């Protein structure tokens, strides 16, 4: 059985790593716990393939720390920049987060705002490979 598929010609391991539960939770996981889990997935991937990581612009403590997941990834790729090329990063966004909850905003302005926010929070060591309006 094939262990990978392709997205836009890039070989991706078929089993990805959803990151929401690392930051959208009442208790705080340490960076090292999260980093260890991400690295385990990368190390388990066959050579020449990338690991699909799924994050979200709103995977944090709502409404004030919504971008905690992206900030975690920023710290990960700052500490381990060599892992950036082994990952395919998908980020969900285009959501307004406020006291009322989550509201989709797929207007051109909403998507631009979301992408700019994601790029800022993610930092310079990893690019978004796939943006998904939520």
**C-alpha to C-alpha distance for 102 and 98, rounded to whole angstroms:** 7
Q: Which of 35, 52, 58, 59 is labelled catalytic?
A: 59
Instruction: Give the H/E segment covering residue 92.
Output: strand 87-93
- Quickly count: other Cβ atoms within 10 Å of residue 43's Cβ: 10
Task: Tell me if residue 80 is catalytic.
Answer: no
**C-alpha to C-alpha distance for 32 and 133, rounded to whole angstroms:** 29
Q: Which residues are catalytic?
A: 59
């Amino acid at each position: 059985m094939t262990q990978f598929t392709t997205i836009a010609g890039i070989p991706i391991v078929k089993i990805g790593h959803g990151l929401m539960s690392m930051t959208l939770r009442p208790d705080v996981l340490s960076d090292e716990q999260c980093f260890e889990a991400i690295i385990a997935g990368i190390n388990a991937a066959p050579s020449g393939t990338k690991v699909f990581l799924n994050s979200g612009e709103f995977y944090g403590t709502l409404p004030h720390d919504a971008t905690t997941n992206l900030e975690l990834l920023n710290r990960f790729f700052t500490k381990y920049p060599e892992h950036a090329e082994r990952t395919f990063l998908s980020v969900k966004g285009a959501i307004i987060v406020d006291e009322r909850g989550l509201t989709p905003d797929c207007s051109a302005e909403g998507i631009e705002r979301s992408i700019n926010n994601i790029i800022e929070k993610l930092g310079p060591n990893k690019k978004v490979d796939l943006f998904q309006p939520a």
